[in-house]
């Protein structure tokens, strides 16, 4: 009943954008709702309103009466803990705000820095949503008062899309329902179109989804991070959703059967191939926080299979030898892809590691496929290179996942990422140039494309078409100490931008993954969305007439200023 009441309320608001200011209302302005207006909102929702604080606020008695942050050093690096706090982001730099004059508003847990604890970019008030009706009430309130709105699920976001200074937040973390259905039929689909499926609501995280599907003796394509704190029904799938299982089964968007979403008009829609197919198309890869608030996703699942894994580690006292090996591994990646392998790798401090997997693979296949890499590495032993090689067999994806990725994820550092999707030609014919660009700093490569990902029609979803030609997705990043000033941060950003430009110039027709990228890409519309951008923009305009949902470098954000508060 509450859903219909809220929908009726929104219908009565009408489209009054022409009479509004060109700017969103933020905290501290005269337009900000009164306490009685917020109290009226609170009466319409299932939970009390929330008042998010930056992570470090507990260390300051003026912000938290306990003034005790003795345990924060342990919990602040735990991805699951960070995601459970409405004002905490996985990367704390997005909790801060930098003014144009270089002054930084922040709240550092290290009180010895002598910096006052301020709100930074953390929203000041919001709704702890537990149902679509809660979200509808929040959206109606934001539209009525023209508020700057943000949506936060886990805060596992490298572009700062889950937070904004002076904003009103819809926090979906506590929507934790999981439903398994071996004969799921999408709404309006023929009755014989069935899927063995798992439906997860907005707050479910991948470690929870994996536990649930393992209990059914099955597996699914999902996100991989230490601790599994990434949301299973949020930005991960809305941006594309990659996995080590993607080369075998496709990306997250390729395994999405149905979605439920609340629009800025207050409508609560079920979207799939039969209902609102244009919106279903856009939300599968067209970017999170852009079209509405996702409340649930239904994914297809697969029979559990044994997994063959291979762990390769190389150490060297010679950086040139390690870079030489790195270039050769890049060159050989297309052959690994053709042989059905996927996984992850990285370099840091003259160490290189690979963790690769193949469903239904064998140890003999691992030894055969990787023998060129092992032989090449052996030939570099005279230059101070040493290697370790461990083929490993697992009875399921779940058993591998729990060994390598369970536990507490080490997050909580100031981080910005850049990324690039690399195609076969770049790897086979420009591996040395790529190594020259990528190797000097630490990087991660995600062997999550190729295979089945490349066989799917590039126009089947709003996803960046560059994914369908890519084999490898590489990420690289910068970091800085807490308390760093604007000049020090900008110096790091310039390093990131230079690496980004070099990769762009070497692979100008490719792109980057919207969920793991930076805010400094040239022509970001093409880099993140490719030739799909005009269609995505038209769908955005159709389903979000209030232009309520705006995120950094998301579809339609070019119409707004740098803070995404005022229309240009």
Quick one: tokens of 222?
């999902």
In this prediction, residues 173-178 reach a mean pLDDT of 98
Range of weakest confidence among 89-103, 267-281, 352-366, 435-449: 435-449
Q: Is the pLDDT of residue 12 over 60?
A: no
For residue 14, name the pLDDT band (cuts at 50, 70, 90): very low
Q: Where are the beta strands (DSSP E) in 84-124?
A: 97-98, 104-105
Please state whether 392 falls in left (phi above 0), alpha (psi between -120 and 50) or beta. beta
pLDDT tens track for 495-534: 999 999 999 999 999 999 999 999 999 899 999 999 999 9
Task: Assess contact for 529 and 554: CB atoms under 8 A.
Answer: no
Pick the closest to residue 469 from 514, 410, 510 (CA basis). 510
pLDDT value at residue 318: 87
Task: Assess contact for 129 and 48: CB atoms under 8 A.
Answer: no
pLDDT tens track for 319-376: 899 999 999 999 999 999 999 999 999 988 789 999 999 999 999 999 999 999 999 9
pLDDT tens track for 31-55: 999 999 999 999 999 999 999 999 9
SS3 392: strand
Spatial distance between the Cα atoms of 463 and 283, rounded to a whole number of angstroms: 9
pLDDT tens track for 375-408: 999 999 999 999 999 999 999 999 999 988 876 6
pLDDT tens track for 247-306: 999 999 999 999 999 999 999 999 999 999 999 999 999 999 999 999 999 999 999 999
- Cβ partners under 8 Å of residue 94, min gap 6: 121, 155, 157, 160, 162, 163
**Backbone φ and ψ of 299, nearest 5°:** -110, 145
Spatial distance between the Cα atoms of 341 and 351, rounded to a whole number of angstroms: 22
Spatial distance between the Cα atoms of 277 and 14, rounded to a whole number of angstroms: 25
Q: Is the pLDDT of residue 124 over 50?
A: yes
Helix (H) / strand (E) containing 180: strand 178-184
Q: Is the pLDDT of residue 409 over 70?
A: no
Spatial distance between the Cα atoms of 449 and 243, rounded to a whole number of angstroms: 9
Specify which residues 346 forms β-bridges with. 353, 444
Quick one: tokens of 245?
């299982």
Residues of the chain with pLDDT > 90, as a percent, come to: 86
Neighbours of 320 (CB within 10 A): 12
pLDDT value at residue 405: 83
For residue 419, name the pLDDT band (cuts at 50, 70, 90): very high
Spatial distance between the Cα atoms of 195 and 181, rounded to a whole number of angstroms: 8
Neighbours of 367 (CB within 10 A): 13
Quick one: tokens of 266?
């207050």
State the Cα angle at 192 between 189 and 198, rounded to 5°. 70
In this prediction, residues 162-181 reach a mean pLDDT of 98
In this prediction, residues 462-488 reach a mean pLDDT of 96
pTM value is 0.94
Burial 427-466 (b: 16+ CB within 10 A, else e): beebbebbbebbbeebbbbbbbbbbbbbebebeebbbbbb
Spatial distance between the Cα atoms of 48 and 385, rounded to a whole number of angstroms: 59
SS3 286: coil
pLDDT tens track for 531-557: 999 999 999 999 999 999 999 999 999
pLDDT value at residue 4: 41
In this prediction, residues 179-194 reach a mean pLDDT of 98
For all residues of the chain together, what is the average pLDDT?
93
Spatial distance between the Cα atoms of 100 and 449, rounded to a whole number of angstroms: 40
Spatial distance between the Cα atoms of 39 and 125, rounded to a whole number of angstroms: 12
In this prediction, residues 190-219 reach a mean pLDDT of 97
Neighbours of 61 (CB within 10 A): 11
Spatial distance between the Cα atoms of 391 and 367, rounded to a whole number of angstroms: 8
Q: How far is CA 454 from CA 218, 254, 427, 509, in A?
A: 24, 11, 16, 16
pLDDT value at residue 535: 98
pLDDT value at residue 57: 92
Pick the closest to residue 197 from 169, 216, 175, 173 (CA basis). 216
Spatial distance between the Cα atoms of 242 and 444, rounded to a whole number of angstroms: 14
Spatial distance between the Cα atoms of 175 and 127, rounded to a whole number of angstroms: 12
Pick the closest to residue 133 from 39, 4, 38 (CA basis). 4
């Amino acid at each position: 009943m509450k859903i219909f009441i809220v929908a009726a309320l929104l219908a009565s608001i009408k489209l009054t954008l022409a009479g509004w200011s060109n700017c969103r209302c933020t905290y501290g302005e005269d337009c900000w709702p009164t306490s009685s207006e917020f109290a009226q909102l609170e009466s319409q929702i299932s939970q009390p309103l929330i008042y998010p604080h930056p992570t470090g606020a507990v260390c300051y008695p003026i912000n938290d009466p306990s003034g005790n942050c003795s345990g924060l050093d342990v919990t602040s690096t735990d991805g699951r803990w960070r995601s459970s706090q409405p004002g905490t982001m996985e990367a704390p730099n997005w909790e801060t705000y930098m003014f144009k004059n270089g002054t930084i508003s922040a709240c550092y847990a290290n009180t010895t820095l002598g910096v006052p604890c301020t709100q930074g970019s953390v929203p000041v008030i919001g709704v702890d949503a537990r149902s679509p009706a809660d979200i509808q009430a929040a959206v109606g309130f934001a539209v009525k008062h023209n508020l700057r709105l943000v949506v936060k699920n886990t805060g596992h976001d490298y572009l700062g899309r889950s937070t904004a200074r002076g904003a009103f937040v819809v926090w979906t973390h506590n929507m934790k329902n999981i439903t398994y259905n071996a004969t799921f039929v999408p709404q309006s689909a023929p009755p014989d179109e069935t899927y063995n499926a798992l439906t997860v609501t907005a707050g479910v995280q991948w470690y929870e989804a994996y536990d649930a599907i393992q209990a059914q003796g099955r597996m699914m394509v999902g996100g991989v991070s230490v601790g599994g704190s990434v949301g299973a029904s949020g930005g991960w799938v809305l941006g594309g959703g990659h996995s080590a299982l993607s080369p075998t089964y496709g990306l997250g968007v390729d395994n999405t059967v149905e979605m439920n979403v609340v629009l800025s008009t207050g409508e609560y829609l079920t979207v799939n191939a039969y209902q609102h197919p244009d919106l279903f198309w856009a939300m599968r890869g067209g970017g999170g926080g852009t079209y509405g608030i996702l409340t649930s996703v239904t994914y297809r699942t697969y029979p559990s299979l044994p997994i063959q894994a291979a762990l390769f580690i190389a150490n060297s006292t010679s950086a040139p030898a390690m870079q030489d090996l790195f270039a050769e591994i890049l060159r050989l990646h297309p052959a690994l892809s053709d042989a059905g392998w996927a996984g992850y790798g990285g370099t840091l401090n003259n160490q290189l590691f690979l963790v690769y997997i193949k469903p239904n693979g064998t140890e003999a296949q691992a030894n055969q496929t990787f023998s060129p890499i092992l032989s090449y590495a052996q030939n570099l032993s005279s230059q101070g290179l040493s290697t370790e090689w461990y083929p490993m067999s697992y009875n399921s994806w779940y058993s591998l996942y729990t060994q390598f990725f369970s536990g507490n994820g080490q997050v909580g550092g100031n981080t910005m990422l850049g990324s690039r999707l690399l195609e076969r030609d770049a790897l086979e014919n420009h591996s040395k140039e790529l190594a020259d660009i990528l190797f000097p700093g630490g990087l991660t490569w995600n062997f999550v494309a190729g295979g089945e990902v490349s066989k799917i029609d590039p126009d089947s979803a709003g996803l960046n078409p560059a994914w369908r030609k890519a084999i490898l997705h590489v990420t690289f990043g910068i970091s800085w100490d807490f308390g760093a000033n604007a000049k020090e941060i900008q110096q790091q950003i310039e390093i990131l931008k230079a690496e980004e430009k070099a990769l762009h110039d070497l692979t100008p027709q490719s792109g980057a993954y919207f969920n793991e990228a930076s805010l400094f890409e040239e022509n970001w519309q093409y880099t993140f969305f490719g030739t799909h951008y005009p269609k995505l923009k038209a769908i955005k305009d159709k389903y979000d007439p209030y232009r309520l949902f705006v995120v950094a470098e998301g579809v339609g954000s070019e119409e707004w200023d740098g803070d995404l508060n005022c229309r240009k």
